[in-house]
A = this chain, B = another copy of it.
Amino acid sequence: MSLNIDQIIKKSQEACVLAGVKLTTKRKNVLIVLLSSIRPLSAYEIFERYKDQFNESLPVMSIYRMLDFLIREKFVHKLETANQYIACAHITCDHQHETPQFLICDNCHVVKEVGIKRNIMAKLEQSIQSTGFTLSHQQLELHGICEHCQNKPK
């Protein structure tokens, strides 16, 4: 477990104490699996990697429940357009989590989580409100090609 992951886990532990919930060993390990991956993973891929990384086979059902927990506590996001899960890129940031915006490369499948600029989001919200609709679960998922893949010969 890299130093960086170590720090993120520590931060998560603290956040859980504050929230009055428990980051059990298995929940923590699922989070470590996600933090160790450069790509988002499906629940079944997490299942496989958990086995490899921790020499222990967790039921897929339990993976889903632990993901539910981690998502509820905002340590993990679900990419709805890909049916995959990814660790939040801002666990160690102290500022409030902004509306996340995911740039998903359809070629190499890397995902970059960027906070959507406040003024753009405000405009978007405003334009939506005028239709009478109220947003929730705010999250944008945008598909395209990452810088790396663009500069690469096919």
Residue numbers of A with Cβ under 8 A of B are 80-81, 103, 105-106, 112, 114, 116-117, 120, 123-124, 127-128, 131-138, 140-147, 150
Chain B, residue nearest A123 (CB): B120
Structural contact, B120 and A124, CB atoms closer than 8 A: yes
**Complex CA distance for A131 and B111, rounded to whole angstroms:** 12
Structural contact, A144 and B133, CB atoms closer than 8 A: yes
Structural contact, A120 and B127, CB atoms closer than 8 A: yes
**Complex CA distance for A118 and B118, rounded to whole angstroms:** 18
Number of copies: 2
**Complex CA distance for A30 and B136, rounded to whole angstroms:** 32
Contact of A132 among B120, B128, B132, B147 (CB under 8 A): B147
**Complex CA distance for A120 and B105, rounded to whole angstroms:** 22
When distances are taken between beta carbons in the complex, the residues of chain B under 8 Å from A150 are 132, 134
When distances are taken between beta carbons in the complex, the residues of chain B under 8 Å from A117 are 123, 127
